[in-house]
Amino acid sequence: MYKILFFLILIYSPLTFATSKTSVSEYSILIDEDWSSVMFIYRNMDNDETGEIITYGGYKWFEETYNHPAHSTTSFIQPADIGIDGDMYSWMKERYQLQRFNYSFNYKGNDQVINFVSPEAIQVISGYITRSEPFSISTLSSTTWYSGTYDPIKTIDDLKVVAKNNARTFCNILSNPIVINSKNTELKINNLPQFMKTYGFECDQNLNLI
């Protein structure tokens, strides 16, 4: 009976993550230091908060790590300056370990996505957003690990920097229906793509900056 229940949870959890987006009223954007991944924090009308990380074009270690079920992995969120390239354990300091980080991994075309529900993680991330500080999020599975360093987008100039460094990522961000239809918490702007047109930043249907 318990095995059946667990199996059903695995089947329906992606649907739960997806349907929760329908009531999103506000969101935050965080950009990875390599400019090819983005994190969204979604705030629903019922005050629930969820997160999403999208790796545009995919990334081997992101896929191989998050393809493992959440209950079999361990995740950490810590200040960005602690991690050292090539030193796995420097990205996973015990004091920054999350007690619960529930996520669902899926694909959107060529992109890889995790949607996560974790009040603890959201609370920690919100602190970094408030302080305008970068942080790393790392996950360790039985065979692989992934770490990404994210910086909050809090000004229009921050968005311009994204466009300068990776125009396709910029256009992918603006194509998100929630970015079009909801309010950005930090920028206090509705319909961000329309607003960015006033600064001369516009994307075509093929996600090219024009």
Q: Which two tokens stand for residue 196?
A: 């960015």
What is the per-residue pLDDT for 21? 57
Helix axis angle for 156-165 and 167-175, nearest 10°, is 130
pTM of the model as a whole: 0.89
What pLDDT, on the 0 to 100 scale, is given for residue 13? 47
Looking at residue 47, its pLDDT comes to 81
Q: Are 68 and 102 in contact (CB under 8 A)?
A: no
Q: What is the pLDDT of residue 8?
A: 42
Measure the CA–CA gap between 199 and 203, rounded to whole angstroms.
12
Residues 6+ apart with CB under 8 A from 144: 61, 64, 65, 68
Kindly list the averaged pLDDT for each block of 10 residues, start to end, along the chain of length 210. Answer: 42 46 88 98 92 98 98 98 94 98 97 98 98 98 98 98 98 97 97 97 96
User: DSSP letter at 136?
Assistant: E
Identify the pLDDT of residue 22: 61
Residues in the chain: 210
Tell me what pLDDT residue 20 has.
53
* Cα distance between residue 93 and residue 206, in whole Å: 41
What's the pLDDT at 45? 85
